[in-house]
Amino acid sequence: MSTKLSEAALLSHSAFHLILASGSARRRELLTDAGFLFSVLPPRSGAEEDAEASLYGATPELLVKTLARTKARDVVSMLLNGTLVPRLDGLATASIVANAPLVVLACDSVAVCDGEILGKPVDRADAERMLRRLSGSRHSVVTGLCLALLSRESTSRELERVETSTLQMDELSEEQLSAYLASNLWQGKAGAFGYQDGNSWLELLSGEESNVVGLPLEALAQILVENFSA
């Protein structure tokens, strides 16, 4: 773990209250393993649907940045309206406003292969299509990161980053493809694969490993340290 990441995790214990705007178990695991103290408040179901509809034909970078921002703003809206259903550390709205700034963290990721954006598969057939598309290819995972900072006066500002990691997928045999599809590990994952699943047929060439999972920790740490370190 880098020094900056350790510093950012330590800051989450005293300098601000971190709220993860995601229901992703893997993103929670990444933050927990890095030592962050945080609560979880996912955006409302379908919060980004209108934004997605307006982003047809957008670049991957614009797409993920806009969707991450939309998720963050939805959670900010709930917090400012007192609609807080926290998990993990049981923070209350009153204590957040009274004691420290609130930082809402939202992300969105897609896989990109030869210009084609691959989001989360809708079913097994869609997952198979994506994996066949990626098989034997070099591709990237692009993640938009949005931090919405709320002051004690309930005013907010947004800090955004887009991170890209490059991967190489081996040519998948029919046996490998069938086994992975049968495992259902593709569910809910951009591009229908999870780097964290430990597949020998997937190699990270550049960028953050955590970015491929959906939360670029080093980029997050840099933003937090720049804005909250004394």
- Residues identified as active-site: 108
206 φ/ψ angles, rounded to the nearest 5 degrees: -160, 160
User: Which is nearest to 164 in space by CA: 221, 215, 211?
Assistant: 211
